Amino acid sequence: MGIDWLRASHDERKALYRAVRAMMREEALSWDAVFSAALPRIVLGARYEDNFRAGRNSRIHCNQIYRWLLAQYPAHAMRLDDELGAARAEHGAGWRDWLAAHGRYKGVSAFLAPEPPIGLVRIAAPEPLARPIVPLGGGFYFQIEAPFAGKVIAFQSLGQDWYALPLRDGGMDEEISKDLNILPQGSGSDQAIPFTDDQHEGRHGFAFLLGSGALIERIAELAANHDGALDGATLDGIAASVMDSAAPWALRRINLLFVK
């Protein structure tokens, strides 16, 4: 299985719908027959097919539907894997090239709440893996060194997928001053609540784009309205928009390891 359906994008869920629909035409099956077989004992609403067609149905349901398709109609599942694999290879190349060419593993570090560790960075091929090792459920902060005042927006990777990382309640971006900044920041006199992740073990990548308020707000608009992984076309659009900007910008990267 090439796609992690528990993290599938809207476009990937729509592609699953098309694959199931194609199978149904060949096998002369109804949606009632498909849903009763793939999602037994689950009560579905009257508009479930419409939500599935639009890529808005549950990722858990998509995972079950795909596994049923793979078990019962493997040729259709394999064609879907090929389609989505080709789409991923085609889209997102601009983003990956941009990260590799312009991301700098300096000017950003992480520390556990409440106290920072000593000895922040060690080198691990093929990319730097920074300290500290973060326990699942533990709080942590980032320290960003900014060459100018402006705004910052953050992205997080899990495996090959990239997600927007909100930096404050109600918004994705945050204002920064020149020199050192701690993320997340507190609101007024409030103490900042640290980042935490209590579910995903392993290597996480983080990218911080620093720039003018106008540039970062434009990037935030491109990344908005995604409740899952950013699709390749959106990522490529973000990279292209930054490269087209005449305003100064900087890209900071860091990789952290999360363990139980």
pLDDT of residue 5: 87
Domain ranges of the chain: 5-90, 93-259
3-state class of 163 per DSSP? strand
* Residue 160 DSSP symbol: T
Which of 27, 122, 12 has the alpha carbon at shortest distance from 76? 27
Q: Which two tokens stand for residue 132?
A: 């500290």
pLDDT of residue 122: 35
Q: Which two tokens stand for residue 137?
A: 């459920």
CA 219/CA 172 separation, integer angstroms: 10
Pair 8, 64: CB distance under 8 Å: no
Which of 87, 59, 80, 92 has the alpha carbon at shortest distance from 15? 80
40 preceded by a cis bond (ω within 30 of 0):
no
Question: Which residue type is seen at 228?
Answer: G
Q: What tens-digit pLDDT sequence spans the chain (260 residues)?
A: 467 788 777 888 999 999 999 999 999 999 999 999 999 988 898 899 999 999 889 999 999 999 999 999 999 999 998 888 776 666 688 898 899 999 999 999 999 986 433 333 333 334 566 778 898 888 999 999 999 999 999 999 987 789 999 998 778 999 999 999 999 987 655 677 789 988 888 889 999 999 999 999 999 999 987 767 888 888 999 999 999 999 999 999 999 999 88
With residue 187 as reference, give the H or E element that holds it.
none
Per-position b or e across 164-188, b if 16+ CB within 10 A of its CB: bbbbbeeebbbebeeeebebbeeee
pLDDT of residue 93: 81
Please give the angle made by the CA atoms of 162, 112 and 228, to the nearest 5 degrees. Answer: 20
Which of 13, 12, 11, 19 has the alpha carbon at shortest distance from 57? 13
pLDDT of residue 256: 92
